[in-house]
Structure 1
Amino acid sequence: MTVTAAPTAITGAQVFDGEKALGVTTVLVEDGRITRLGGDPPEGAEIVDGGGATLLPGLIDAHVHTNREALALALRFGVTTELEMQGLHTRDNRAQISEDDTVADVRSSGFGITPPGGHPSELFPEGFRPGPPPGAKPTGRPPLMPFSTTPEEAVAFIPQLIERGSDYIKFMVDDGSVEGHPGLPMLDQATLDAGVAEAKRRGMLTIAHTLTVDATRMAVEAGIDGLAHLFMDQPHTEEVIDLVKDAGVFVVPCVVLNASMMGITGGDLADDPRVASRLDADWDKTLRSSYGHYPQGKIEDVLAAVRALSDAGVDLLAGTDAAVPLPFLGGLAHGASLHHELQHLVRAGLSPVQALRAATSVPARRFGLDDRGRIAEGLRADLLLVDGDPTTTISDTLNTRAVWRRGTRLAA
């Protein structure tokens, strides 16, 4: 005999549906889905009083490197989906995660196309092997490492990545200059062009790691769909903003990562009691450190570029590049840093509503996640209830009152 759980009615909260504020209305959740907006709660429903709070779609971090523990941490901060930009969680390797409502959901590129010895190998200390973390036990086949130096190699890897379950295809376009390793092996234009064309021919979304204006230009000229970073080597120009805009490319600025590369730690965020109470000692130490590879960078230039892209109508997606709790990958923590990124976007000149869209409806639309990112009838009940009103005060996103993944409320 199957016992159906009673529906949940969230009442009295202001609702931000991923695009706009709807005002105070009731949201009814049944069997993991949003079944109704407005009206009176049905008889027998579990009532959640949202008075004085705002109900948001579950947040989406559009750039991470993750594992089960990190996905659990992310969910505690209301991040219900993480988009992995290098890692193990391809389609065949995440069945247990997809069915576990105590962790965030995940999509993944698998491993990015890069030359042997290319990015991200330079980030790791000597003797540290980039790739799957020590002791990792994926449930499917081991990951494919698509090292490419020619157009033919890049093209050949695309169907293999698709067959291995990559949700989108990532390309590394990095000469190491920002990371303090100039002259790093890097994809050339012909190899990048061929790989992107083949991926798009097969219907795959393409995204590029780019930290410089030159790499940005290469990726856009190759026909890339999105940029996983915002350049940080020089101020923006009208020419590069127009290049991105005219190509319809989306950008995941990862301002928190750029700040960390410049030596700016996440110490202020770690001091926030709303964050400190949810981090263990390792994550606290990591958040208080930084990458520190590009101290000559200027965060003001990055923020100005974010503002220019937004003003030009470019789709901006909130992402962090959070990885694992190691000090040399510092300044970032899963979940917490996405809230920090939203604060940076507002600091750059976006409205709080624009910043919230960057973590909800916009990444869902650009990554084809049609079942989430908004509060609408029929969609997944991935929800975040916060005290206050983040549509006017963005830091209120950290005032977590409740989190639901597929209608299952996360235990406090």
Structure 2
Amino acid sequence: MVSKFRRTAAAALAVLTATAAQAGEADRPDALVLSGRIIDGSGAAPIPQGRVVAIDGVITCVGKAADCPAPPGAVFIDAGEGSIMPGLIDLHAHPRPHYYGWFLASGVTTVRSANTDLAMVRALKALPAPQTRLVWAGPMLDGENSIIKRFYPAAEPDGPSPARPADGPSLEGVELLIAETPEQAIAAVDALAAEGADWVKLYEQLPPDAFAAAVQRARALGLPTMADLGMASTRGLVGAEVDLLQAAALGLDSLEHASGAALAYRRLGGDLDADVLDPALIDQLARTLLTAQTALVPTLSVSHFTAETQSPDPVLADLPLGDAQGSVRDGLDQQWRGVHQHFHANAESNGKARLDARIGAAVMVRLAQLGGRIGAGSDTPAGAYNLPGGGLHLEMELMTRASLSPLLALSSATGTAADILQRQDIGRIAVGRRADLLVVEGDPSQDIRDTRRLRQIILDGQVLDPAALKNRALEDGEALLAAVMAEQAD
């Protein structure tokens, strides 16, 4: 499916470009003034009866109305009893063009793609504006025994294998880089940097010396690193090479899924099957991340429906686009149901998902107590019933269920997320930052579920209607999927 999509992207994008004008969105106003409760994304208490002024898509004033005069000709938006907050940032997703529009329609204005081949980057960036801002990690680095290799053929009739050694001549057509040696790891990082990747992603089978070489080379080139070290529900307790303690010691910037935590816990002598996790060991794991300044992106939502037995239907219905219909939704639903049925038909797999959810939440809570950095990521559409866009709203709710405050959960998807991305232009309502803003009903600083009650979505100062974005996302997704399916049928 991935390789066939790569060959049909141009035709599908032509369909989308032809219909882009149907989005019906207004041009960006020269000046925009928003009034109401301001949640600025820093974790600070809301500013009641505040004002935000943006000129040419950049925030120029935040504070009380008396301190932020309205520019001539400004467009005014009054939040009333609602709230003004930053646009959301999903730090871990696997976007594809046929559902990329779901992110912006859900209030996600920036997404970090966690493993992206070059053709997919081009396809996502070529989608008609307005679209969610893309930050991307290129093809990930893994070892020769990578579990991901099973998804790729040994060779394709019209090109080289998508999984091949990291020191090959080009990254074109590559979806997985195999690095068995430090030299191969260094060559891979150099190639990713040359292609303009924003991040380097490392995976669970990468040998320790290659892992260390990749992190060091990336740091020398100014590229941050993220890693999935494996979980109990993948191969994190069987075939993983590097655990949380080792990765942090090497200077990893962002740890995904709390991966490597279960392996490190067991290596420290902990019993993962005990009724209660050892708080001293959890503290050690969290303090290691804190000392190394490694951010944690726990992606609790990816394990949620596989670790729980509750029906997903009422949860999905409450999320943005959770009531969507059509072939795009049907395709995602088929994937989610397949994953869900597999896990719930297998008690062992279900237990592993619960283990991942439990240790991930425990490390997250302790790291938050210590003042470490927690970022929100959904891993959508991985897992069961993990909606693009909507999965991030669920992630923030799951963080609060684990005892994080709503303000901290909000910060994990706004201000702290921007810090993790090393971006000074997004994530907070602050002077000099982009006017990526949401106006929502209610007060998410008290009830995190109010982030789902979208009234306006503002991207770079352009005011967008959530209902129009939803319709556009569904229509564009259908057009793209139809083009792909037509090509497959030929």
TM over 0.5: same fold? Answer: yes
- The correspondence for 2:180, drawn from 141, 149, 166, is 149
**C-alpha spacing 1:50/1:359, structure 2 compared with 1 (3 Å):** same
Letter in 2 for 1:67: R
**C-alpha spacing 1:267/1:303, structure 2 compared with 1 (3 Å):** farther
TM-score norm. by structure 1 comes to 0.83
Shift of 1:383: 0.9
SS at match of 1:34: strand
CA distance in 1, matches of 2:199, 2:414: 19
- The correspondence for 2:290, drawn from 241, 245, 250, is 245
CA distance in 1, matches of 2:162, 2:81: 45
- The correspondence for 1:71, drawn from 77, 100, 103, is 100
SS at match of 1:296: helix
Is 2:326 the partner of 1:303?
Answer: no
- The correspondence for 1:17, drawn from 25, 40, 45, is 40
Deviations 1:257-312 (A, max 9, x none): 13355466744421327543356532455556646383113234432332112112
Deviations 1:144-182 (A, max 9, x none): 642111111111211111001111111102xxxxxxxxx
Shift of 1:40: 4.1
Q: How does 1:184-203 map to 2 (within 5 A)?
A: 186-203=205-222
CA distance in 1, matches of 2:197, 2:28: 35
Pairs aligned (count): 384
Residue in 1 that maps onto 2:83: 54
Is 2:415 the partner of 1:353?
Answer: no
**C-alpha spacing 1:89/1:67, structure 2 compared with 1 (3 Å):** farther
Residue in 2 that maps onto 1:382: 436
CA distance in 2, matches of 1:332, 1:273: 10
Residue in 2 that maps onto 1:409: 463
CA distance in 2, matches of 1:143, 1:58: 32
- The correspondence for 1:396, drawn from 438, 450, 473, is 450
* Runs of 5+ unmatched residues, structure 2: 1-26, 164-170, 263-271, 468-490
CA distance in 1, matches of 2:319, 2:375: 26
SS at match of 1:113: strand
Shift of 1:90: 8.9
* Runs of 5+ unmatched residues, structure 1: 133-139, 174-185
Residue in 2 that maps onto 1:205: 224
Shift of 1:241: 2.1
Kept in 2, the 8 Å contact 1:154–1:194? The answer is yes
Q: How does 1:223-302 map to 2 (within 5 A)?
A: 223-231=251-259, 233=262, 234=272, 235=277, 237-260=282-305, 262=307, 266-272=312-318, 275-278=321-324, 280=326, 281-282=329-330, 283-286=332-335, 290=339, 292=343, 294-297=349-352, 298=354, 299-302=357-360
Is 2:189 the partner of 1:158?
Answer: yes
Is 2:240 the partner of 1:217?
Answer: no
Kept in 1, the 8 Å contact 2:319–2:452? The answer is no
TM-score norm. by structure 2 comes to 0.71
SS at match of 1:254: coil
Kept in 1, the 8 Å contact 2:162–2:173? The answer is no
**C-alpha spacing 1:406/1:289, structure 2 compared with 1 (3 Å):** farther
